[in-house]
Amino acid sequence: MSDVEKGLGAIFMDMLPFNDPEGDFPVPINAAKQSFISSSGRVDSEGRDTFYPEGTPTFFQKLANEYNYPVDIMQESGMIGIDPLYGSTRLDRPRSDLPNPQELRDTRGHMLGSALLAKQYGPETALKAGNLREMFTNKLHAAMDKRNNAVGINLFKAAGINATPEQLAQSVDAAIFEQLDLILGRAPKERKRRSSSEATVPDVYFPRDDEGRLISDH
């Protein structure tokens, strides 16, 4: 690992099938790796051991245990938990103004993926790569993703070049839970599905129109 900026060319070269990037985490963050990262907060995920020491609750375990998000039997593993993509509770939350598991999976995936990319290729390179990827999506979704990418990169900067994937995951999870705590502290008249306007904290809600309907990301 190096704190020297490697540039977008290094990412593109590492994406070639015959290359095997060095490092303690398999980057670049292509579609398969992004799914590995985004799903790592599940209790039954393939990436659990990469990001959570033995005995440490995962992101979605903590979401269920400490924030009372509903759980169900997950089809793939038969374990009790939250499947934020296909599970029956993927859109459920304990209070109507809280983000649902799908939204939190997306937020966490962008933050953690960008933090890991910054560790491998440098913060500026990671930011450019994230912005390039968002050129092909809805501008509101792009704004959410760019913000969460930047927050993840800043968390990496705070943690330092020697931070492990476990430590970066802990920082990302803590930043999201901090936002949930702030949302839970809102007075009834302030309870809207809207993140803080402060760009240095995660955006935990998908874009919606004036009637509250989700806006497509295409």
In a domain, 86, yes or no: yes
Average model confidence (pLDDT) across the chain: 89
Confidence check: pLDDT of 17 > 80: no
In a domain, 81, yes or no: yes
Summarised one tens digit per residue, pLDDT across range 134-161 is: 877 889 999 999 999 999 999 999 999 9
| Overall domain count for the chain | 1
Query: CB count, 10 Å around CB of 47?
Result: 21
Confidence check: pLDDT of 2 > 80: no
In a domain, 159, yes or no: yes
Q: What is the mean pLDDT of residues 161-171?
A: 95
pLDDT at 1: 47
pLDDT at 33: 73
Confidence check: pLDDT of 14 > 80: no
**How many residues would you count in the chain?**
218
Q: What is the mean pLDDT of residues 94-122?
A: 95
Distances in Å between the alpha carbon of 177 and those of 108, 135, 142, 198, 201?
11, 29, 22, 16, 11
Confidence of residue 13 (pLDDT cuts 50, 70, 90): confident
Confidence of residue 11 (pLDDT cuts 50, 70, 90): confident
In a domain, 7, yes or no: no
pLDDT at 218: 59
Domain that residue 67 falls in: 28-190
pLDDT at 98: 97
In a domain, 6, yes or no: no
In a domain, 104, yes or no: yes
Alpha-carbon distance 133 to 129, whole Å? 6
pLDDT at 211: 75
Confidence check: pLDDT of 25 > 60: no
Instruction: For residue 217, report the phi and psi dihedrals to the nearest 5 degrees.
Output: -90, 15
pLDDT at 132: 86
Confidence check: pLDDT of 46 > 80: yes
Confidence check: pLDDT of 115 > 90: yes
Higher pLDDT, 190 or 35: 190
- Cα distance between the two ends of the chain: 35
* Residues 6 or more apart whose Cβ sits within 8 Å of residue 147: 199, 202, 203
In a domain, 197, yes or no: no
Higher pLDDT, 130 or 90: 90
Q: Yes or no: say if 177 and 183 are a contact pair by the CB < 8 Å rule.
A: no
In a domain, 171, yes or no: yes
